[in-house]
């Protein structure tokens, strides 16, 4: 049995409230679980003490038994200093796609062309004044 430490959603529409639970990975998100070890209320301020309530000892105990925290729970545990989460970065995702690159290149070409025309006009205007 593969155990997960994950969030089970509760609360009303657009007013989320999560319970941190231990569940079999095959069970549905809000379905059957083994144990509830805490709560997380994302609507509360970050410095509010009741935003994240977690029994850290139970979480550590379940992790020694083989329970794997999901990414979001790992972030919460990292915030408490229980575990460390490696920073994730995908620089390829932030790059513009093909059409955006084409538009940027076309705009740069127009700017370059306009700058060349302005320089040529300034040069032509300066030539008669020099005579």
pLDDT confidence bin for 130, thresholds 50/70/90 = low
pLDDT confidence bin for 129, thresholds 50/70/90 = low
CATH number for the domain spanning 67: value is 3.30.1320.10
Residue 85 lies in a domain: no
Looking at the fold, whether 48 and 109 belong to one and the same domain comes out as: no
What pLDDT, on the 0 to 100 scale, is given for residue 83? 86
**Residue holding tokens 């545990």?**
77
CA 119 to chain centre: 46
Looking at the fold, whether 60 and 120 belong to one and the same domain comes out as: no
**With pLDDT > 90 as the criterion, what percentage of the chain qualifies?**
66
pLDDT digits (tens, 9 = 90+) for 3-59: 999 999 999 999 999 999 999 999 988 889 999 999 999 999 999 999 999 999 999
3-state helix, strand, coil in the chain (%, to 5): 45, 25, 35
Q: pTM, whole model, 2 decimals?
A: 0.67
pLDDT confidence bin for 131, thresholds 50/70/90 = low
Query: What Cα–Cα distance (Å) separates residue 21 from each residue in 11, 70, 76, 105?
Result: 16, 11, 13, 51
Domain containing 68: what range?
3-80
* Structural domains counted in the chain: 2
CA 48 to chain centre: 21
Residue 74 lies in a domain: yes
Residue 121 lies in a domain: yes
Q: Would you mind telling me the total number of residues written for the chain in this entry?
A: 131
What pLDDT, on the 0 to 100 scale, is given for residue 15? 96
């Amino acid at each position: 049995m593969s155990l997960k430490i994950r969030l089970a959603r509760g609360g009303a529409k657009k007013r989320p409230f999560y319970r941190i639970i231990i569940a079999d990975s095959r069970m549905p998100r809000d379905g059957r679980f083994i144990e509830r070890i805490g709560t997380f209320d994302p609507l509360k301020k970050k410095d509010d003490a009741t935003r994240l309530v977690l029994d850290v000892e139970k979480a550590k105990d379940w992790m020694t038994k083989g329970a794997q925290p999901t990414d979001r729970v790992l972030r919460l545990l990292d915030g408490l200093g229980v575990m460390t989460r490696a920073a994730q970065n995908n620089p390829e995702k932030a790059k513009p796609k093909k059409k955006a690159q084409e538009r940027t290149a076309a705009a740069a070409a127009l700017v370059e062309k306009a700058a060349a025309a302005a320089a040529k006009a300034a040069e032509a205007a300066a030539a008669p004044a020099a005579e």
